C-alpha cells in the first residue's frame, strides 16, 4: 500500500476527530445555556409576590439584579422578576420588606452578557467555517490547508510499491521494447549521453480501451528506480477558474524537486484527452478553464524553462482530438500505438493470466487465442476470470476447456437466460434463421469458417447467434470477401422467406450491419462500378461524439447522392438474392440443420461438418 495513502487517511481521521470534538463542545455549551435559562418550576408573578409579602407569608429573599429568589414561611421556595431595568431595585419594595421583617440578602449581579453574546455570534460562524472547510477538503481530496486547492493530487509510486513488471506485459513486445528504453536511460544515462542521444521528453501511448496502456505505465513504475507521479487528466479540471493551471504548476514543481536527488522523474497522465482537447472546441464557458490548464501544461512541458530530467508519459484512446501543439516534437517526441494483440499475442496474454489458475489437461490456450479475434488484454483477463468463476460454480477442481468456451459465449453474446421461455413457433423460426446464416456461410467459398451455432437466448436481445472465426488474422478484405460476409449476414432473413414465406423482426441487427458494410464499400472503399474509385464518406470527427461513417449529401449533387443510394441498395439486394438461391437449392440441408438445432440448441464446428458433409465447398 502506498504510504501517501496511509498518511492521507491518518490526516482525514484527525480532521474528523477535531470536527467532532468542536461540535460536541458547542453542543455542551448550548445545552448548559439552555439549562441556565430555563425558568424554575416555582416561579410566580411579581403581583403574587407582593400580595404574599403584604400578607406576611414571605420569610426571606435574595435579590440579584432584577431576579428575586426567596422562601415562604411555609418552607416553599419561589422566584420572580422585578418589573424594572436590570440592576435597579423597585423603590417601593425595600420599605415593604423592612416593614414585614423579611430577611433580605443583596448579591452583585454577574455580567455574562459579553460571553454569551460573543458565543451567539461566534458559534454559527465557527460552524459555517468548519462546514466550508470540510466541503473544501471533500472537493480537493488532499491537504488540510483551506488555500491548497492548487495542490496537485498526483500520487507518487516507486518500484517497492508497484508489483507489476514488464514480465506481466505480454502480446505487445514492440511497444514494450520502446518503453523499456526509457527505463534503461534512467538507470544508465551515460550509455546514451556518450553517443549524443537524448531521451524523448514525452511518450504518448495511443490505443483502444483495454490494450494495456495503463498496464505499461504500472510496469514502468515497478521497474524504474526513479520517482513516478501518476495523475488522471480529469484531476486537473475543477469548477473554480485557475485551479487546473495551479495544479499543473504544482505537479511539475514537485517533479523538479525530485530530480535534485534522482537521475530523472516520470510523470504519467492517464486519459490526457480530458485536458488536452483541441482549443476552441469547447461548448459553453467551462472550456476556458480547460484551455488555461492546457496552456500551462504546454508551457511546463516545453516552455522557456528546461525540464531535461522530467519525462512525460501519457495515455489516450482519442488522439484525434488532442491539440496539435501538444503533439509536436519537444513535447511528445514519441507516439507509440498500442494495437490489439494478434493471435500469438493473445496466446501470450492468456499464458500470463492463466499462470495462477489451475487448468485442466484439455485446455488449449493456442486454440482459445484463435477463437478470440478482436479480444484485447482486458477482455482476455476477464475471460480467464469468468472461466474460473464458472468452474467454481460447477464445483470443479480445475478449469476445463468447456468453461473457457462458455465464458467466450458470455463475453460475446451475454449471460445465458435459462428462464426465458420462447414459443415453439418462434423457436422454430429462430432455428431456421441461424441455420440460414450457417449454411450460407458454409456454401460461400470466401466466407469465414463457422465455429458455433446457438439458439440459446443470451444477453438483452440475442435469441441466437452464428459465430464465424477466420483461420488467420485479417487486416484487409477483398471485395469478394466482403460480399461473402454480406451474403452470410442476409442468410437468416433469406431462410425465413424460403421456409415461412414471410419476414420477421429477427433480422433487424443483420440489416443494420450489412447496410453499414455496403455503404462503406460504395463511399469509402471505391468498390462500386458506377461511382468508381472515389472516397465520398468521412469519419465523424466531432469532439464529443464517437466516430461513425457520415455521408453528407450536401457535399454532393442530388444525382450523385441518388446514385450512391442506388448502389448501396443494389449490393444488398444482390447478396440477399444470392442467399435465397443458395438456400432454395439446399433446402433439405437447411431443414436438417434447423431440426438438429431444435434438438440440441448448440452445434459446434466439427458437428456441423459431420451433419452437412460439405467439406469441399470451402477452401482449406
Write out the three cell numbers for 613.
458433409
341: DSSP letter: P
Q: How far is CA 566 from CA 110, 323, 531, 572, in A?
A: 100, 40, 11, 10
**CA dist list (Å): 288 to 238, 278, 389:** 12, 12, 48
Grid coordinates of 339: 494495437
Half-sphere exposure of 13 (CA within 13 A, CB side): 6
Whole-number Å distance between alpha carbons of 550 and 520: 10
Beta carbons of 158 and 24 less than 8 angstroms apart: no
What gap in Å lies between CA 135 and CA 52, rounded to an integer? 60
Main-chain dihedrals φ then ψ at residue 518, nearest 5 degrees: -65, -40
DSSP, collapsed to helix, strand or coil, labels residue 494 as: helix
Dihedral-angle region of residue 316 (phi above 0 means left; psi in -120 to 50 means alpha; beta otherwise): beta
Give, for 587, the enclosing helix (H) or strand (E): helix 587-600
Phi/psi for 310 (5° steps) reads -110, 115
Bridge partner residues of 312 (DSSP): 202, 267
Measured distance CA(415)–CA(418) in Å, rounded:
9
Calculate the CA dihedral of residues 348, 350, 353, 358 and round it to 10 degrees. -120
Cα gap 30→37, rounded to integer Å: 11
Q: Identify the residue whose cell numbers are 400578607.
A: 55
- How many CB atoms are located within 10 Å of the residue 373 CB? 17
The sign of the torsion formed by the CA atoms of 473, 477, 478, 479 equals positive
- Asked if 105 and 63 count as a contact pair (C-beta separation under 8 A), the reply is yes
Please give the DSSP secondary-structure letter assigned to residue 40: P
Annotated catalytic residue 434? yes
Q: Which three cell numbers stand for residue 374?
A: 478482436
Cα-Cα-Cα-Cα torsion 23, 24, 25, 27, nearest 10 degrees, comes to 90
Is residue 290 classed as helix, strand or coil in its secondary structure?
A: helix
Which of 88, 63, 64, 60 lies closest to 74, judged by CA? Answer: 60
What is the number of other CB atoms lying within 10 angstroms of the CB of residue 155?
Answer: 17
Q: Which of 258, 434, 496, 567 is catalytic?
A: 434
Active site residues: 434
Amino acid at each position: 500500500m502506498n504510504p501517501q495513502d496511509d498518511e492521507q487517511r491518518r490526516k482525514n481521521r484527525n480532521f474528523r476527530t477535531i470536527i467532532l470534538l468542536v461540535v460536541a463542545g458547542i453542543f455542551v455549551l448550548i445545552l448548559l445555556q439552555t439549562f441556565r435559562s430555563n425558568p424554575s418550576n416555582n416561579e410566580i408573578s411579581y403581583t403574587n409576590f407582593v400580595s404574599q409579602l403584604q400578607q406576611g407569608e414571605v420569610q426571606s429573599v435574595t435579590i440579584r439584579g432584577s431576579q428575586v429568589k426567596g422562601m415562604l414561611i411555609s418552607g416553599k421556595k419561589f422566584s420572580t422578576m422585578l418589573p424594572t431595568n436590570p440592576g435597579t431595585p423597585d423603590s417601593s419594595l425595600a420599605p415593604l420588606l423592612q416593614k414585614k421583617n423579611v430577611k433580605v440578602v443583596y448579591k452583585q449581579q454577574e455580567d455574562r452578557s459579553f460571553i454569551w453574546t460573543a458565543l451567539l455570534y461566534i458559534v454559527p460562524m465557527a460552524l459555517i467555517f468548519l462546514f466550508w472547510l470540510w466541503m473544501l477538503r471533500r472537493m480537493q481530496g488532499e491537504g488540510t490547508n483551506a488555500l491548497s486547492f492548487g495542490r496537485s493530487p498526483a500520487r507518487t509510486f516507486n518500484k517497492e510499491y508497484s508489483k507489476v513488471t514488464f514480465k506481466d506485459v505480454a502480446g505487445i513486445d514492440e511497444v514494450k521494447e520502446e518503453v523499456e528504453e526509457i527505463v534503461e536511460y534512467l538507470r544508465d544515462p551515460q550509455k546514451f549521453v556518450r553517443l549524443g542521444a537524448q531521451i524523448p521528453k514525452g511518450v504518448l501511448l495511443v490505443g483502444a480501451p483495454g490494450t494495456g496502456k495503463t498496464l505499461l505505465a504500472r510496469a514502468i513504475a515497478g521497474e524504474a528506480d526513479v520517482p513516478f507521479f501518476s495523475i488522471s487528466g480529469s484531476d486537473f479540471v475543477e469548477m473554480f477558474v485557475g485551479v487546473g493551471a495551479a495544479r499543473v504548476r504544482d505537479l511539475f514543481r514537485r517533479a523538479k524537486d525530485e530530480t535534485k536527488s534522482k537521475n530523472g522523474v516520470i510523470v504519467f497522465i492517464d486519459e490526457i484527452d480530458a485536458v488536452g482537447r483541441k482549443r476552441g472546441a469547447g461548448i459553453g464557458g467551462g472550456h476556458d478553464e480547460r484551455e488555461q490548464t492546457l496552456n500551462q501544461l504546454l508551457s511546463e512541458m516545453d516552455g522557456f524553462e528546461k525540464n531535461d530530467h522530467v519525462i512525460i508519459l501519457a495515455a489516450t484512446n482519442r488522439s484525434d482530438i488532442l491539440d496539435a501543439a501538444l503533439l509536436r516534437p519537444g513535447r511528445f517526441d514519441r507516439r507509440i500505438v498500442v494495437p490489439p494483440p494478434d493471435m500469438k499475442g493473445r496466446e501470450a496474454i492468456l499464458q500470463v493470466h492463466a499462470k495462477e489458475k489451475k487448468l485442466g489437461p484439455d485446455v488449449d490456450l493456442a486454440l482459445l487465442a484463435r477463437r478470440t479475434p478482436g479480444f484485447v488484454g482486458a477482455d482476455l483477463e476477464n475471460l480467464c476470470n469468468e472461466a474460473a468463476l464458472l468452474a467454481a460454480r460447477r464445483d470443479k477442481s480445475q478449469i476445463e476447456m468447456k468453461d473457457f468456451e462458455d465464458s467466450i459465449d458470455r463475453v460475446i453474446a451475454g449471460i445465458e437466460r435459462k428462464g426465458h421461455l420462447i414459443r415453439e413457433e418462434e423457436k422454430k423460426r429462430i432455428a431456421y434463421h441461424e441455420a440460414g446464416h450457417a449454411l450460407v456461410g458454409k456454401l460461400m467459398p470466401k466466407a469465414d469458417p463457422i465455429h458455433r451455432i446457438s439458439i440459446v437466448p443470451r444477453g438483452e436481445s440475442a435469441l441466437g447467434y452464428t459465430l464465424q472465426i477466420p483461420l488467420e488474422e485479417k487486416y484487409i478484405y477483398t471485395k469478394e470477401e466482403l460480399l461473402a460476409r454480406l451474403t452470410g449476414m442476409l442468410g437468416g432473413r433469406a431462410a425465413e422467406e424460403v421456409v415461412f414465406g414471410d419476414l420477421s423482426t429477427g433480422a433487424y441487427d443483420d440489416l443494420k450491419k450489412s447496410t453499414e458494410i455496403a455503404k462503406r464499400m460504395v463511399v469509402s472503399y471505391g468498390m462500386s462500378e458506377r461511382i468508381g474509385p472515389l472516397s465520398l464518406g468521412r469519419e465523424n470527427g466531432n469532439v464529443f461524439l464517437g466516430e461513425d461513417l457520415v455521408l453528407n449529401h450536401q457535399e454532393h449533387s442530388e444525382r450523385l447522392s441518388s446514385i450512391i443510394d442506388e448502389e448501396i441498395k443494389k449490393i444488398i439486394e444482390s447478396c440477399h438474392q444470392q442467399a435465397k438461391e443458395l438456400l432454395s437449392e439446399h433446402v433439405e440441408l437447411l431443414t436438417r440443420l434447423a431440426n438438429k438445432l431444435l434438438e440440441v440448441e448448440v452445434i459446434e464446428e466439427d458437428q456441423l461438418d459431420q451433419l452437412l458433409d460439405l467439406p469441399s465447398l470451402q477452401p482449406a
